[in-house]
A = this chain, B = another copy of it.
């Protein structure tokens, strides 16, 4: 019996997300991102297809590394303009019962006390369907937006993140006892003040002396997502994360990363199964192999390599335009360490812009899986078995048809093989993923 594969849609409150240029496809609707009915329809569609959740990326800043200018990003809508993803969730939650929501929030630029209340509010309104993707940022442009001249050094960002986590965890888990809220109209007692306490925190970065303003929500702590894959990022994930996103095309490398992550979690006193690993994937599928290939050929015509280069330059922290097209690129940066490491692993020190451009198959460094529903389903099951992966984050290509195609062609094949649910369990997001509503206690 294969494991139950988890499927999230991976999106962002913007036009161009991962597969750059596809917004220009005549059927693509991502330019409707400011329209609330676009998102409520989207949510209904995913829930009808039994998706586990939708996961929202976010970035505070613009991709101005390539050529030292944001112009190409603006022209091609490479994750700019980008609206706040959190604001989509109440609307999408109001038309669904089961769909989970993961939202990226950069803790570097959040006030922990307000942030904790915002997430508690979402956990209430979604009835426990909220998750938080913890990021610390990697863009100097974001730091400049917040009044700094540049971002903090990579490992310092994680130290700050550890303190932030410890503080918000105290607010979520420690301020109100489970039985603090009585809600007794007859006696006129809403809550028992003896069971509500002030959280005192005086750390290096934050100082708080207050009770949490929200009463306990279904999950209290949102399901914690994390994508850091550097050594320091893995340690952070092993301590805090319940779901981890990975990218990678080579199974042995992904397998090893998953293994190391689960081992690191075990060293923190957690079970290896306390972490669900989601692999990033881009899928082009159809009723037949031919239909999928035809679709792929069609989509590719709208892909935009310049836009993909803008994104890659920012993720890697490297301005490729400073190098001739065949000149080896130095892989040192203060951006996403795991991206840089992956690039070096894949190409060695002789990495060049030309090699990178060759890889940008459909507007991104993530090559799509193209095939019939059956072929995709088999590949997914094979990956989960071989690399110990729990599920997939599906990047959008042409929306919403990419999700319609997945639901029509891949989901039934997965179900037939016992690898995908045929109806939702009731309960919270954490309940569905781990069989418990509350976060397992960690050393944090």
- Would B304 and A210 count as touching, CB distance under 8 A? no
Counting CB contacts under 8 A, is A208 at the interface? yes
- Would A90 and B36 count as touching, CB distance under 8 A? yes
Known A-B contacts A40-B94, A95-B94; the reply to A23 vs B122 at CB < 8 A is no
Closest residue of B by beta carbon distance from A106: B114
Over the window 188-210 of chain A, the binary record of Cβ atoms lying under 8 Å from chain B Cβ atoms (1 yes, 0 no) is 11111110100000000011111
Alpha-carbon distance between A185 and B142 when the two chains are bound, in angstroms? 28
What residues on B are CB-neighbors of A190 within 8 Å? Answer: 15-16, 23, 31, 74-77
As for how many copies of this chain the complex holds, the number is: 2
Closest residue of B by beta carbon distance from A216: B81
- Would A214 and B81 count as touching, CB distance under 8 A? yes
Known A-B contacts A36-B125, A145-B209; the reply to A185 vs B60 at CB < 8 A is no
Q: Which of A84, A118, A141 has the most CB of B within 10 A?
A: A84
Residues A98-120 near B (CB distance < 8 A): 109-111, 113-114, 117-118, 120
Counting CB contacts under 8 A, is A435 at the interface? no
Counting CB contacts under 8 A, is A83 at the interface? yes
What residues on B are CB-neighbors of A185 within 8 Å? Answer: 23-26, 31
Interface residue count on the A side (C-beta < 8 Å) = 81
- Would A83 and B145 count as touching, CB distance under 8 A? no
- Would A196 and B74 count as touching, CB distance under 8 A? yes
- Would A84 and B188 count as touching, CB distance under 8 A? no
Alpha-carbon distance between A252 and B28 when the two chains are bound, in angstroms? 60
Over the window 137-148 of chain A, the binary record of Cβ atoms lying under 8 Å from chain B Cβ atoms (1 yes, 0 no) is 000011011110
A294 nearest CB across to chain B (Å): 21
What residues on B are CB-neighbors of A84 within 8 Å? Answer: 114, 117-118, 121
A216 nearest CB across to chain B (Å): 9
A74 nearest CB across to chain B (Å): 4
Alpha-carbon distance between A189 and B23 when the two chains are bound, in angstroms? 10
Counting CB contacts under 8 A, is A413 at the interface? no
Counting CB contacts under 8 A, is A61 at the interface? yes
Closest residue of B by beta carbon distance from A141: B210
Known A-B contacts A76-B188, A77-B190, A84-B118; the reply to A146 vs B214 at CB < 8 A is no
- Would A193 and B121 count as touching, CB distance under 8 A? no
Alpha-carbon distance between A147 and B203 when the two chains are bound, in angstroms? 10
A261 nearest CB across to chain B (Å): 30
- Would A93 and B36 count as touching, CB distance under 8 A? yes
What residues on B are CB-neighbors of A90 within 8 Å? Answer: 36, 87-91
What residues on B are CB-neighbors of A117 within 8 Å? Answer: 60, 83-84
- Would A81 and B34 count as touching, CB distance under 8 A? no
What residues on B are CB-neighbors of A183 within 8 Å? Answer: 31
- Would B146 and A191 count as touching, CB distance under 8 A? no
Which 6 A-B pairs give the minimum distances between C-beta atoms? A145-B210, A77-B190, A71-B193, A147-B207, A34-B124, A83-B121
**Mind listing 22 A-B residue pairs with CB under 8 Å?**
A13-B121, A16-B190, A24-B186, A31-B183, A36-B94, A36-B125, A40-B94, A60-B114, A70-B196, A80-B211, A80-B213, A84-B121, A87-B87, A88-B90, A90-B90, A91-B93, A91-B94, A94-B95, A109-B111, A109-B113, A144-B208, A145-B210
Given contact pairs A24-B186, A87-B90, enumerate 10 new A-B contacts (beta carbons under 8 Å).
A23-B185, A24-B185, A34-B125, A60-B113, A88-B125, A89-B90, A90-B91, A94-B95, A109-B113, A146-B208
